A and B are shown apart, each in its own frame.
Chain A
């Protein structure tokens, strides 16, 4: 089993749609959790950290369920500029583990 697994995608959605990405992790010792965004042929950039209480940043909402070892990202009112690959990342004692990423394409 992979340490971090994500929806395989790709997701193709129209502008204005709401889209949700899921991620599961296998190591219960995981300490912190993130969503990163990666544009084509660019480096990953932090989108948001994920907390058990859930956190929101504008149109983006992230949720963590430690009991189920599950992380989610919800994007509301999708924009063309949201097109990218979204990486689920788990921190295990300073060693980061990345999911393979979910590709999102937002179409006009």
Chain B
């Protein structure tokens, strides 16, 4: 019953540091997504992928990079962490199609100090 797994659960970064948020899914879903959620706000789409080797920008891509070398994995890279990137990050996957129901990981809580 793994579903979508995110690591780490928590992380504190210093300004300018880099890190990769990991996301893996075992449902053989083609679609994967990265969102960020600031306190009291809805989810904002950072990047998404419709299949291995294909990625596209969402609403708030600046400061982030992604890759999709396999169906299962969709890591999110922060190159030069800034305080504005303090947020909760959620990864999700879906099978696509007309409904495109998304399944979410438990989230990564990131603080940049």
Contacts and interface: CB of A to CB of B under 8 A. Distances in A.
B23 to A, nearest CB: 12
Contacts of A45: 104
B74 interface: no
Interface stretch (B37-45, B62-70, B77-85): B37-45
B45 A97 contact: yes
A44 B101 contact: no
Contacts of A101: 42
Interface residues of A, number: 22
A61 interface: no
A99 B31 contact: no
Nearest to B30: A94
29 contacts: A4-B42, A31-B100, A32-B98, A32-B100, A42-B106, A42-B107, A43-B90, A43-B105, A43-B106, A43-B107, A44-B104, A46-B101, A46-B102, A49-B99, A49-B101, A87-B42, A91-B100, A94-B31, A95-B45, A95-B58, A96-B92, A96-B100, A96-B102, A98-B35, A98-B42, A100-B40, A100-B41, A100-B42, A101-B42
Interface of B: 31, 33, 35, 40-45, 48, 50, 58, 88, 90, 92, 96, 98-107
